[in-house]
Structure 1
Amino acid sequence: MRRINVGIAGLGKVGSQFLDALLSVNTDNVKIIAVAEPREDLESVKKAKENGIAYYRDARDMLSSLEDAIDVLFELTGDAVVRTELYDILSKTANRKTVIVPEPVAFLIWSLITHKSS
């Protein structure tokens, strides 16, 4: 089965929970390859680094640097300007591989992977 390379932009409240949820999923099919967060002192940034995940201070730099190595980019910054600029980067680089997933869809996925059967 094909491996999906994931990037996470924003490791605040939602992003850090999302990082934890994805790290807890035991699969070789999904790999977090990079995260972006301007606040380097966050515990979630430390956790990402400890897990060998590339760290960027800016999501735009992450996407520009890794180009289409990222299959799925979870955009969890809550910043409309950053979101727009990420789409602009995809457009300008002709990257047709990377899919940007907005926060509501990320929340749905997070809910599904953390849901415990009653």
Structure 2
Amino acid sequence: MRKINIAIAGLGRVGSQFLQALLAVNRDEVKVIAVAEPKEDLPSVKLAKEKGIAYFRDARDMLRALEDSIDILFDLTGDALIRSDLHDILMQTGNKKTVLVPEPVAYLIWVLITKSASEYPY
């Protein structure tokens, strides 16, 4: 059985809902292993910590620390600089395993796992 390790960068409006949806899937094959969010006082950060998910204040630090143990990194920060930096880190470290997923693809996955586009927290 293949296991997919997921990390989420950005736990704001979209990221927090996405985290909850992924946790609700509750499958052994899909595991959220880390999250990154600069605002540590958010309920979604507290939830992640309660679930034993590694927490980082910065997505770049998360990617550097976990390197290729992340299969999929959902970039839900909405920040073009962070997105560019994440790509740079992947190239600098030679990480060819981690897939960086932007928000439009996250939206597609949201629709598939929740069966509803109307619930997506734009």
Q: TM-score, normalised by structure 1?
A: 0.97
1:26 is displaced (CA, Å) by 2.1
Percent sequence identity is 72
Q: Distance in 2 between matches of 1:87 and 1:99?
A: 10
Q: Is it true that 1:103 corresponds to 2:78 in the alignment?
A: no
Q: Distance in 1 between matches of 2:16 and 2:111?
A: 14
1:112 maps to which residue?
112
Q: Is it true that 1:25 corresponds to 2:42 in the alignment?
A: no
Q: Is it true that 1:76 corresponds to 2:76 in the alignment?
A: yes
Aligned to 2:32, what secondary structure does the other structure show?
Answer: strand
Aligned to 2:41, what secondary structure does the other structure show?
Answer: coil
Q: TM-score, normalised by structure 2?
A: 0.94
Q: Distance in 2 between matches of 1:29 and 1:13?
A: 26
1:111 is displaced (CA, Å) by 1.4
1:30 is displaced (CA, Å) by 0.3
1:2 maps to which residue?
2
Q: Distance in 1 between matches of 2:107 and 2:34?
A: 19
Question: What does 1:20-99 align with in structure 2 at a 5 Å threshold?
Answer: 20-99=20-99
Residue type matched to 1:70 in 2?
I
1:115 is displaced (CA, Å) by 1.1
2:119 maps to which residue?
none
Q: Which runs of 5+ in 2 are unaligned?
A: 117-122
1:12 maps to which residue?
12
Following TM superposition, the consecutive aligned residue runs of length 4 or more in structure 1 with deviations greater than 2 angstroms are none
Q: How many residues align?
A: 116
Q: Which runs of 5+ in 1 are unaligned?
A: none
Residue type matched to 1:112 in 2?
L
Residue type matched to 2:102 in 1?
P
2:120 maps to which residue?
none
Q: Distance in 1 between matches of 2:42 and 2:66?
A: 23
Aligned to 1:33, what secondary structure does the other structure show?
Answer: strand
Deviations along 1:34-53, one digit per CA (max 9) or x if unpaired, are 00000000000000000000
